[in-house]
Structure formats: structure tokens, C-alpha cells
Structure 1
């Protein structure tokens, strides 16, 4: 819900705005003010998300009110005035919009939408950064001419091959020098699940589960590959598969 403060020294203008806002969803008019000094006090007391601010008012102009607000805690400002020549000054204080009197409902609704977008953008800028993932997003595989980057999200399965690991993607396979234990520390288990001491599988690629006795199980992948599941991994794998 967007909380709105209306500021104008003309009662009919306040009444017009209030009536319009009753027809805009997800907004609430939380107060009104009749001059710049009242507006400054109301902004401090009510912490509105949006202020509809007349420019020409007694004692303190709307431009002066907006310029005095601390930038990091200021609401969105939409200026309302009968004069076009204030527009450059209005945008100098980074107003969201500038409406001419008499305000039209369609222009008011557009201004509110713009203020919402700006408010959402500022909230995103100040959101805490996500913690970096402890896992690799790709593996660099040596080649005769250098190295090739293999994104982890393109790997369907990994199988051990002595001192190497075979990385299988939909297009080709890569031989990568690493132990499975080392890979287990570098690969996000939410992407590739260890199903055997010698294998990792992307469970979203599993099309069939084959059971042979209580503790023997194979996974059939979309490309036809069959991967054995180690006895110690059966229950965790079934849980992840939702079975």
C-alpha cells in the first residue's frame, strides 16, 4: 500500500486530489497540509511514500520543501502547479513527475505508477547483496590449445574415471582431472546430486527409477544413460526425487 500526503493551499485542489486517489488501487491518503511548513512537519511525522506537492504556497514553497528533504529518506515527490515554467526547477530536485492544474485523473494515475517504479528501484538498490556462493559455477577443462569453460548448469552427470572425472553435457563429454571428493566440495549439491561414490547426477534429468532388491537402484536419464545408486545414497536420492 502506497501512503500518500496531499499538500496544497487551495481546499478545492485538495478535495479533487483526494477524490481521484479514492479510485486508484493500493494507495491510502494518510494526511493533508495547507502550506510548506505544515508539509515539512507532516512528512517527518507520517513518513509517506508519495507527496503530492503544490509549488506556490505561502511561507515555504513546494520546491523549498523538496530541496530540504534528506535524499536518503525522502518520499517520492510529484509536483502539482498551474504554471509550466516551474518544470525545470522541479526536476532539479529529482521529482517523479510534474502535473498541471486542473489535474486529470489519467495523468495522476500515470504519475503514481512512475512513483511506484522509482520507489521499487530505490528499494532494490539498498537491498543487501546476496552472499556469494561457495560453489563453482563452471569448471575449466584443459585442452591441447588451452582451456574450455564448462558451466556446471550444463552438466547432466559426472562419473569417475580413475584419477579423472568424466563431465557429461548434452553436447559432448569432457575429461577433467579431479577426484570425486574434491568435486563434492566445489559443486552445488542442489544442482548435481552425488548418487554414488563414483557418480553425480542432475536429478531433473531422471526419467525412470529401476529397483533391484531393497538396496540396489539405478537411475535412467533422459539421454538413456543408466547410473547406479550406491546403497548409502538410496534413501537421500529417493527423498530428493520425492519418492
Structure 2
């Protein structure tokens, strides 16, 4: 996996390079410090993945990503300090949206998603011009995610975990994340409690996706999922989660 790093902050570039050392089968082929330099580097180096900041001189990351939609060989993951651009980021087909400071496991998950997309290819999204009728069967209705061309269907069974993002949630599937307008509390009645478990105020996880439970030294439980994601457990949910996953529970790491 050939990766180009784009950020106007030297420390941010250095941190990404350091974190990527521990991600197997990746090569940092170049760095760029603004949007114009990044466009030149992408044309010259043809990276598989661009880790892209948003607010930069000359040309911002969103503008660059819109231009890259014509180059499906260069996938984009945004890495930024600002969460308010998340909706716009997914409108330009970003694979993922990482907030600084980036957690190592979260970065590895984003790279793994990009790698899987290169192997299997991105499925062509199905667009609807209007909101489809709600399915009457409990817990089976898909999510219809708004995109610039219409609505994209995301099957609920494809979602491994759900993360709060202000007035939206991020639906995390094996290949990419989708931004959906809802609060966590409003989402709860739509989720089958036999399949989806709330583990904090800001996260649901699919029970069958959990492969390991670890306790960090500060006492925080962390759920490791089959796609490599690590989801912290909120304090008020710790007892229930420990009891639920007793078989895959590990000691302090």
C-alpha cells in the first residue's frame, strides 16, 4: 500500500510516519504540505491512499478530494483536528475520517479498509431520489444515507459498530464509514438488542464482531473488533460488557 501524507504541520506529518511504521505492508512514498503540492505529488507518485488534512494553504483538502473523484485509484482518508467537516468529507467519497491526535488502532483500521477496497473493489452505490418507505419488520429497515446524487442503502447487518458524531452517527462497515443524521438515543429503537450492544454514550457494537476485551491500565475496558477497531467502554456500561464477553476477556495490557 503506497501512501502519500498531506498536512501543513510538520509535527502531524512526523506523527503519521511514526504510526505507519507499525502498520504492515505500507510505504510512505511522499509528503506534501499544501493542496497544490499534494496534487502534483499525486500525479507524479500515483499513491494508493492519501492521508489528507482539510485546512491547508493554497488549496484545502476538500477541494483536492473533489478533484480526486476522477481518479478512483487514489483513495482518501481525512486526518484533521476539526469534526465539523465530516459531512462534507463523506460527500466526496472519503473512506474514513480520523480526528487528531490519531489513535494507532484507528489509523490501522483506515489503512486496512483502503487495502480491502483495492482488492475487492468498491461496489457501485445504489441511489434513490426519495426516501423509501420504512420496512415494517422490526430491526430490519436499512439505513438510507444522503449523498450528493441521492440516497445510498446501507444494510443494518453490514454495520459492525456505530459511533456518535454530534448530530450524526458514523455507521462503520468493513470497507468504509457512512455518516447518517441521527442521535444515538433516536437510533436505539431501530437496533436489535440481541445483535447490537450499547457500550458507551457514543458507541454501539455488533456482538458477533467482538473478538477480544482488554482492560487498559487506567481501568478502561476496550473492545477489539474483527475489523481491527478498538472501541472504549463507558464506565456505566463496564459491568454489563464484562459479563457479556466473559469468554473473550483478557487481563490488563
TM score, norm. by length of structure 1:
0.49
The structure whose Rg is larger is 1
TM-score by length of 2: 0.47
